[in-house]
Amino acid sequence: MSENVQTLLKETRKFQPPLAESVGFEKWHVESLDEYKKLHERSIQHPDTFWAEEAQRLSWFKHWDHVLDWNPPDAKWFVGGKLNACYNCVDRHVQSGHGDECALVWEGEPVNPRTNHPAPGSAYAHEPEIRRVTYRELEEQTSRIGNALKELGVQKGDVVTVYMPMVPELAIALLACARIGAAHSVIFGGFAPHAISERAIDANSKVIITADGGFRRGEIVPLQKNVEEAVKQLAEKDHHINHVLVLKRTGHEHPKFEGGTVPASLKAADPKAKTKFHWWHEIAERVSSACPCESMDSEDMLFLLYTSGSTGKPKGIVHTTGGYLTFVNTSARLTFNLVPDTSQLFWCSADIGWITGHSYVLYGLLSNRIPSLLYEGAPNFPDNGRFWDIISRHKVTQFYTAPTAIRTFMKWGTEWPDKYNMSSLSVLGSVGEPINPEAWIWYHETIGKKRCPIVDTYWQTETGGHVVTPLPGATPTKPGSCTLPMVGIDAAIVNEAGEELGANKGGLFVIRKPWPGMLRGVYGNRERFISNYWGRIKDPKTGTPFYFSADGARRDEDGYFWVQGRVDDVIKVSGHLLGTMEVESALVSHAAVAEAAVVGVPHEIKGSGIVAFVTLKSAWAKANPGRQPDDKLRAELTSHVAKEVGALAKPDQIRFAESLPKTRSGKIMRRLLRDVAAGVEKITQDTTTLEDFSVVAKLRADEE
Ligand code: PRX
């Protein structure tokens, strides 16, 4: 990280926002820096009137009584108001005469083999499977799945777990939950069974929606198999899943079951197993297509989304209906200059399993009546040009991706994007981690052809939507800076005492006033909600808690924010948040491991790589004579982590140690380990010898 910060400090390039016409737009919603500043000022000085105007863009079943109740750290937005998120994303567009417009454009991963004679407009021999889903179809499908969920016993207020590939039915599943007033808890399809069971138990969820599989890089991801495994793990902990709804996506052999019965594989493990599996298509056909949208209180939970924290257990971040929907509606519209006239097609490449997908694949887009593109698979299938092929064939207007992806594209070379006509592009977005200036410039020149403004959006699962970002027609950009606060966001860099710091002083990123998209809690854990976000930094004058992001950042002389990265024990690996403790817990659950310490190190593509220091149990060594701390054990531990957490948590390097360096009070000296890990030139060069930290640890003991 320190290298990155150095580069940022030297960065002085500045890019002016282009004219709207030059990127094919009629106008920008916010046309100048001055206009932005006035708007921001008004939103902070008069939040009630500002947010009331924004919320009016949604359809409410009952108008709110007042805009905000703020009893720090508890906020209630649009108090007394009633609405439904699915109604706002779907039904109201049908009712206003837009039912036949496209809401979702989906492309599956598989393509037929390439030939020397590609089909017109495509680099591939045949177009991949493409589906366009209209608002009217969404209305029918969300009604059917809403009724299906009701038939499976789901009631208003229940939490439904969703573990699916990127297919239209994933969006339908979420909207169907919203339709009937159930909260969804989506688990990214790359996570392992343990992640499903841990989250389902925390959320007390009794119904899971999944698919037989999904396609990724030419292979089938065994989603249903993972759910079966999770169901077994849950039953052992006395948490019984009542029903699993399974979409037939791949149609492969693995999971045979008769709709409405307990699969044989579950019965084989436990004859008393009672979790019934149902086929999505069978139940959807059978139930009625009429399902009214529940009238939800503005503060009713819309979804739970688990995110990593500095303890091993992920936190269920609670978002509610009225405030969240208003915030993503406004931020999506302004950041990407959305205009609902069917000429735009927005593509956010994030999986819906992350907050980026919730806010800017689904809710922020459809509530604005902007078609959203979903792509099922990997960027390098069947070749490294897939993303650019998608953009050029579908004529994507706004494209939103992560720096880790951009760095990968850079590595693959400009010859891939150069093959495609991407002149439809207007605005390019970045999200998930600081973007290094080199990647920013490459994105700007190679993908945006120096025409398209880049919006580097800084935010978090907890913030619901963008909190610092350029507005494409208003904000001059500097590569590597996420620039200025979103309207309604009172962001600041402060010290531990809550005092605002001057220009270019590194400090902590906080938000001083409530905003509609803010998290309302950590599910079932009030203490964690307070201690993680509100307990650390206060307004030095009034004692009111500030929202603490756990990010370090600075503001430059123009007031621009430069995020430097996390100040807690979580790391960003390929843009995905991962608690070092989650990886450590996975490692120590292996029979050979006594202790493990995991640290992040700078990684050229992934942002952070994972290095694990591991000590071995003497009992394991005794019980397994002939086994060594060697590459074979490393491979075993690596796949164990993948099995326990998911592939994204695989350590890049495992180093065996005699003991871990600790302070006198017994705390692992992570800073020392980070230095040791970062000192290694090539992350792939493993050492098979056991490291002895005792000397360095003694030298450093007083520093920690
Ligand atoms: O460290 C910041 C980084 O991602 C963290 C939030 O991760 P998550 O909750 O998974 O949400 C990711 C998608 C919003 C933040 O605490 N981060 C996110 N966007 C940026 C960023 N760091 C720098 N610049 C960004 N644009």
Residues 661 and 640 sit within 8 Å (Cβ to Cβ): no
Residues 184 and 178 sit within 8 Å (Cβ to Cβ): yes
Q: Is the pLDDT of residue 185 over 60?
A: yes
Cis peptide before 73 (omega within 30 of 0): yes
Ligand 1 pocket residue status of 574, Cβ below 6 Å: no
Q: Distance from the CA of 460 to the center of ligand 1, in angstroms?
A: 5
pLDDT for res 1: 37
Helices 321-336 and 47-55, packing angle to 10 deg: 90
d(CA 99, CA 696): 68
Among 1, 351, 458, 475, name the best residue to mutate to test ligand 1's pocket (greatest count of ligand atoms within 8 A of Cβ): 458
Burial of 594 (0-12, 13-18, 19+ CB in 10 A): middle
pLDDT in tens, 268-278: 999 999 999 99
The dihedral formed by the CA atoms of 152, 104, 87 and 184, expressed in degrees to the nearest 10: 40
Average pLDDT, the chain: 92
Calculate what percentage of the chain has a pLDDT beyond 70. 93
pLDDT in tens, 96-145: 999 999 999 999 998 864 444 445 555 565 568 899 999 999 999 999 99
Ligand 1 pocket residue status of 431, Cβ below 6 Å: yes
pLDDT in tens, 296-349: 999 999 999 999 988 778 999 999 999 999 999 999 999 999 999 889 999 999
Ligand 1 pocket residue status of 578, Cβ below 6 Å: no
Ligand 1 pocket residue status of 147, Cβ below 6 Å: no
Interior angle at CA 609, CA 606 and CA 613, nearest 5: 170
Ligand 1 pocket residue status of 551, Cβ below 6 Å: yes
Cα→Cα distances 158→57, 274, 372, 549, Å = 28, 20, 28, 29
Q: What is the mean pLDDT of residues 407-432?
A: 96
Nearest CA residue ID for atom 11, ligand 1: 460
Ligand 1 pocket residue status of 8, Cβ below 6 Å: no
Instruction: Give the chain's count of helices (H) and strands (E).
Output: 24, 30
Q: Is the pLDDT of residue 698 over 90?
A: no
Nearest-atom index, ligand 1, CA of 354:
10
Side-chain-side CA neighbours of 665 within 13 Å: the count stands at 4
Q: Is the pLDDT of residue 30 over 80?
A: yes
Q: Is the pLDDT of residue 683 over 80?
A: no
pLDDT for res 126: 59
Ligand 1 pocket residue status of 321, Cβ below 6 Å: no
pLDDT for res 254: 66
Q: Residue holding tokens 């109201």?
A: 92
Dig out the tokens for 391 from the structure. 């953009």
Ligand 1 pocket residue status of 331, Cβ below 6 Å: no
Alpha helices in 577-652 (DSSP H): 580-588, 618-623, 631-644
Lowest mean pLDDT, pick from 108-112, 405-409, 459-463, 632-636: 108-112
Q: Distance from the CA of 433 to the center of ligand 1, in angstroms?
A: 5
Q: Distance from the CA of 408 to the center of ligand 1, in angstroms?
A: 18
Ligand 1 pocket residue status of 351, Cβ below 6 Å: no
Q: Is the CA virtual torsion 643, 649, 654, 659 positive or negative?
A: negative
Q: Distance from the CA of 551 to the center of ligand 1, in angstroms?
A: 9
Q: Is the pLDDT of residue 350 over 90?
A: yes
Residue closest to 485 by CA, chosen among 336, 335, 325: 335
pLDDT for res 191: 95
Q: Distance from the CA of 276 to the center of ligand 1, in angstroms?
A: 38
Q: Distance from the CA of 87 to the center of ligand 1, in angstroms?
A: 30
Nearest CA residue ID for atom 7, ligand 1: 460
User: Which amino acid appears at position 375 of this protein?
Assistant: Y
CA 561 to chain centre: 21
Q: Distance from the CA of 333 to the center of ligand 1, in angstroms?
A: 20
Q: What is the mean pLDDT of residues 46-63?
A: 98
pLDDT for res 617: 93
User: Which amino acid appears at position 508 of this protein?
Assistant: L
Q: Distance from the CA of 579 to the center of ligand 1, in angstroms?
A: 14
pLDDT in tens, 563-583: 999 999 899 999 999 999 999
Ligand 1 pocket residue status of 467, Cβ below 6 Å: no
pLDDT for res 483: 98
Helices 135-151 and 168-180, packing angle to 10 deg: 60
Calculate what percentage of the chain has a pLDDT beyond 90. 85
Ligand 1 pocket residue status of 560, Cβ below 6 Å: no
pLDDT for res 3: 40
Cα→Cα distances 476→32, 46, 103, 483, 485, Å = 9, 26, 32, 8, 13
Ligand 1 pocket residue status of 585, Cβ below 6 Å: no
Residues 412 and 379 sit within 8 Å (Cβ to Cβ): no
pLDDT for res 7: 46
Nearest CA residue ID for atom 25, ligand 1: 458
Ligand 1 pocket residue status of 592, Cβ below 6 Å: no
Nearest CA residue ID for atom 2, ligand 1: 433
Ligand 1 pocket residue status of 572, Cβ below 6 Å: yes
Q: Is the pLDDT of residue 702 over 50?
A: no
Show Cβ contacts of residue 378 under 8 Å, excluding neighbours closer than 6 positions.
Answer: 109, 216, 217, 386
